Amino acid sequence: MQLRPATAPVDLGSSRIGLVARSEPALFLAAYLLYDAARWLLAGRAPEAHRHAGWIIDLERSAHVAIEGSIQRALDAPITSWLLSTVYLAAQLVVLPAVLIWLHRRSRPVYRALRNTVIATWVIAIPIFALFPVAPPRLAGIGVADTVSHHAAVALTGHSTLFYNPFAAVPSLHVGFAFAIGIAAAAALSAPVARALALLWGPLVTVAVVATGNHYLFDVATGLLVIAVGFAAGRVVPALIRS
């Protein structure tokens, strides 16, 4: 009688984990594309955006915090402007996905917390962009220049506005996500110096978005508020779904 070699048992748990790991990038990319499309489709009109910008400028002046122009002038050197413009462009397009990929491999709990926070914040921000369009400082006619278009390879004016919402200034998701990234990275790191450097990412991006003329201090404050709400929603909603 011929004996057949025994086949190895199939680990269904490992198979499911592998499937989820492979589908995760596609699902997150789909969520980002939906967010970006909604933000573009719901872009406000220029007159309304300039009116809201005027309200923010008046509010900041009354509170004596309208310092966007002063910050830009203080950092008006070719190398500094180039560096901050690069930070502004890389924050969302490079650093956010790179950190998510790194956390997915290093610490799944921290990754899930950041992923849920990002998606929840997108959902919260879309109606704000639609109902409260705001012209950023570089478009508000207050003497603040568009340094990104001058110093980086990507122009934020002209034909490029066909691909994004130029009036999605409030809240500043650049700032909100940067602080969330810094906190998440610090939670996944063990070396004190590395954790300290990770926590500096949020303040650096804050300086970059203001110095490049893309956000008011009001946008920074609302960005921090929205990311906090997004973090809470990212924890509560999945827990309710599981229960």
- For the record, the structure tokens of 21 come out as 């790991």
Q: Which of 60-64, 68-72, 144-148, 183-187 has the lowest mean pLDDT?
A: 144-148
Domain of residue 125, residue span: 35-242
Sign of CA dihedral 183, 188, 193, 198: negative
- For the record, the structure tokens of 147 come out as 């340094």
Average pLDDT over residues 111-129: 94
Top-confidence residue, 29 or 57 = 57
Q: Is residue 9 a part of any domain in this protein?
A: no
Q: Is residue 89 a part of any domain in this protein?
A: yes
Top-confidence residue, 19 or 187 = 187
Residue 44 has pLDDT above 50, yes or no: yes
Q: Is residue 185 a part of any domain in this protein?
A: yes
Sign of CA dihedral 177, 118, 97, 31: negative
- DSSP letter for each residue of 146-189: -HHHHHSSS-SSGGGGGGS-TTB-SS-HHHHHHHHHHHHHHHH-
Q: Is residue 7 a part of any domain in this protein?
A: no
pLDDT band per the 50, 70, 90 thresholds, residue 106: very high
Q: Cα separation of 211 and 67, whole Å?
A: 10
Top-confidence residue, 9 or 155 = 155
Top-confidence residue, 116 or 1 = 116
User: What is the overall mean pLDDT for the chain?
Assistant: 86
Q: Is residue 130 a part of any domain in this protein?
A: yes
The total of structural domains in the chain comes to: 1
pLDDT at 9: 52
Q: Is residue 46 a part of any domain in this protein?
A: yes
Neighbouring C-beta atoms of residue 165, cutoff 10 Å: 19
Q: Is residue 23 a part of any domain in this protein?
A: no
pLDDT at 40: 78
pLDDT at 241: 61
Q: Is residue 125 a part of any domain in this protein?
A: yes
Average pLDDT over residues 178-197: 97
Q: Cα separation of 201 and 206, whole Å?
A: 9
pLDDT tens for 54-69 read: 999 999 999 999 999 9
Q: Cα separation of 46 and 161, whole Å?
A: 12
pLDDT at 64: 97
- Per-residue burial over 117-151, b = 16 or more CB atoms within 10 Å of its CB, e = otherwise: bbbbbbbbbbeebbebbbbbbbbbebebbbbbbeb
Average pLDDT over residues 169-197: 97
